[in-house]
Structure 1
Amino acid sequence: MTNFRLTFPVSPLATPVRYTDKILMVGSCFAEEIGERLQQYHFDALINPHGILYNPISITQALHTYLDGKKYTTDDLFRQNDLWHSWDHHSRFSGVNPEEVLSGINTAQESAIRQLEEADWLIITLGAAFTYSLTSNNYVVGNCHKVPAASFYKKLLSPPDAISALDNLMHRLFFRNRKVKILFTISPVRYIRDGVVENNLSKAVLMQTVHHLVNKFDRLFYFPAYELVIDDLRDYRFYKEDLVHPNEQAINYVWDHFTANCLEESDKQLLPRVAEIIRAMQHRPFNPDGAQHQQFLQTYARKTKQLMEEHPFLRLEKELKHFEGR
């Protein structure tokens, strides 16, 4: 039979991710999709403390602020359309009150500083190689916040520029955290607002950058999320209606490959048991006070306790409280 689909083997990580690992994830919106699944299964994962970032320069700038222990001040904010913003951060931090904006930014900053200091894994998802720099001082911004385009220079990074930024970060990071390992992925999101040809050029820069670094450092690895969607699934039915973002099916497919090839074998066996607890918590009974549902709650309270006793690193207190009616 003719094969109308290309599949390829995904190499398992030489050092797999474990449930007990601390994970920091930074980068594009695709990082959030995978990160949220890790959090759902109760991995200790902190996702995008700066919000979504796309290009290598903005991502490295954010990580340098964690290494510096930076605390943001009003000097780091600007006002546009009655809202206060940070050039370094996603618009989810923006607001009408500068004190509240800074509070949100610095709370996330403190969490990121702690997580990176102790991290076993840093997962970086690069989205695009295009940068936007302020015309006033050439500063590369993480988000344009709907400021008029005339305020920015747009540039496609060269591979040497991207490599240099990330290479410098790696040296500094490895000096500060002797155990951290870094897993690179490239987002399969197609940034067609830059243009179809331009998007492909951008992804090519990221590919060359990542593989140069992975070949240079022993503690760097690559997971082919981009190839799984673009070359394996390779069909618009695996994209949302915007034809840009992978849909739930595609994300689940990438997640399945991630768990199969990146997780410790013993932890893979835990996932179905944790998933069962999560599904049970999401169950909405027809009669909450009925004897059948009360028996259901008792059963899953017992299963949750047993799982926590067997694996003390699993933080299932919220689920246990739900089943015990507390």
Structure 2
Amino acid sequence: MSDHPYRSLPDSAYWRRAVAGQGPAIDPLGGGFLTLGREEKVATAGSCFAQHIARYLKRSGFAFLVTETAHPIVPADAAERHGYGMFSARYGNIYTARQLLQLFDRAYGAFVPAEDIWDAAGGGGRVVDPFRPTIEPQGYAGEAELRADRAHHLAKVREMFETLDIFIFTLGLTEGWESVEDGAVFPICPGVSGGRFDPARHRFRNFRVGEVTADMAAFIARLRGVNPGARIILTVSPVPLVATASGNHVLAATTYSKSVLRAAAQEIAEDHDGVFYFPSYEMIMGAPAAARYFAEDLRNVTEEGVSHVMSVFLRHAAGVDLPAPPAGPAFETPDATLAAAREWVQVMCDEALLDPGADGGDRGDETA
């Protein structure tokens, strides 16, 4: 038999050897991943799934960077309800690459959206920030308060970008809503959590691979302009869409969205030095897991799944071995710890508002 390239490939290149029979606790990360030091400042942003990364970094003793903090007298639970510590700054969910790029531009004064204040859903003269509409649960008392808080927030975003060592961004969605006037992208459809939907002013967008890669390339160039040594880790959220405005079945729409994001993440990592892809999506959604890592709703990721993802991440990036989580059957009923974690995510995930009855409560239970 003549020699050929496949004869010298490692076991990880073959499905039978690397996947079949391996069970759900699979490690699909190849070589060439970054090294994370305990003193390196790690910032996170993205969809709700990114919150788990921050939680595990803090728990494992790494330097999770938080530039926007609550006043010391504010109780921890109240600070969490107002979005402090959820990510590195108080920007809430950033579901799309376009949102991330526009956040950077807004922070540095390069983009000032025309539609920058919404009336709160509850009325009473209160207002919300269209770009983080649920960050203040009751809204702001008025425009002056909102603008003052936004100025402080954007200053802390600049501080984050300029001082971080590693930026972890979880790509969550391709679907979004934007202003017809200037293309400003909102984290939630106007009218769902403040504001009023107007088809003459707002339009649906479903970003394609080329748009996602272009937005991320522009963001990377801007970030390196203020922080030349910044390294970036990209992940794709495994959590399906809570609802789709594409006109397609939500399963097909989810497959499209995640496929676009996964392809874009690969291209970005291949095209840019210091950018790495971490396969959390594959670990949760792959055939070996067989839906084991999803709760009964087939959307929310269980603590067992999150623990597996983070154990692989920390083992490769930092040489840290986490204790294995207790194994549970597929569709297990969440224990008290998981229920508490899910309740926190409920409050802070904007997309859940698209289907408020999904979890039997007011807000759904979104972790995309």
Going from structure 1 to structure 2, the CA distance change for 1:62 and 1:233 (only over 3 Å counts) comes to farther
Give deviations 1:246-300, integer Å, cap 9, x for gaps.
Answer: 111111111111111122x3xx37x78xxxxxxxxxxxxxxxxxxxxxxxxxxxx
Q: What's the counterpart of residue 261 of structure 2?
A: 206
Q: Matches of residues 1-326 of structure 1 in structure 2 within 5 Å? A: 3=21, 5=23, 7-42=26-61, 43-46=63-66, 47=87, 49=89, 50-66=91-107, 68=108, 76-81=116-121, 82=123, 83-93=126-136, 95-98=139-142, 99-135=144-180, 137-144=182-189, 146=192, 147=195, 150-151=198-199, 152-194=202-244, 195-231=250-286, 234-263=289-318, 265=319, 268=320
| 8 Å Cα contact 1:35/1:45 also seen in 2 | no
Going from structure 1 to structure 2, the CA distance change for 1:36 and 1:71 (only over 3 Å counts) comes to farther
Q: Which amino acid aligns with 1:109?
A: L
Give deviations 1:66-107, integer Å, cap 9, x for gaps.
Answer: 4x1689999832213224122222412351413444454444
TM-score normalised per structure 2: 0.65
Mapped to 2, the partners of 1:52 and 1:41 lie a distance apart of 23
Mapped to 1, the partners of 2:101 and 2:312 lie a distance apart of 27
Mapped to 1, the partners of 2:47 and 2:59 lie a distance apart of 19
Deviates more, 1:33-42 or 1:254-263: 33-42
Q: Which amino acid aligns with 2:238?
A: P
TM-score normalised per structure 1: 0.72
Mapped to 2, the partners of 1:75 and 1:198 lie a distance apart of 28
Query: How big is the shift at 1:153?
Result: 1.7
Going from structure 1 to structure 2, the CA distance change for 1:73 and 1:193 (only over 3 Å counts) comes to closer
Identity of aligned pairs, percent?
20
Q: Show structure 2 runs of 5+ residues with no match.
A: 1-19, 67-86, 245-249, 324-368
Q: Which amino acid aligns with 1:93?
A: E
| 8 Å Cα contact 2:101/2:218 also seen in 1 | no
Give the match's secondary structure for 2:49. Answer: helix
- Aligned pair count reads 266
CA RMSD in angstroms, aligned pairs only: 2.8
Give the match's secondary structure for 1:188. Answer: coil
Query: How big is the shift at 1:156?
Result: 1.3
Query: How big is the shift at 1:173?
Result: 1.5
Q: Which amino acid aligns with 2:101?
A: T
| 8 Å Cα contact 1:32/1:48 also seen in 2 | no
Give the match's secondary structure for 1:236. Answer: coil
Q: Show structure 1 runs of 5+ residues with no match.
A: 273-326
Mapped to 2, the partners of 1:73 and 1:157 lie a distance apart of 20
Mapped to 2, the partners of 1:88 and 1:179 lie a distance apart of 28
| 8 Å Cα contact 2:54/2:64 also seen in 1 | no
Q: Which amino acid aligns with 2:281?
A: Y
Give deviations 1:145-197, integer Å, cap 9, x for gaps.
Answer: 61555543222111111111111111121122111001000001111412110
| 8 Å Cα contact 1:87/1:144 also seen in 2 | no
Going from structure 1 to structure 2, the CA distance change for 1:167 and 1:72 (only over 3 Å counts) comes to closer
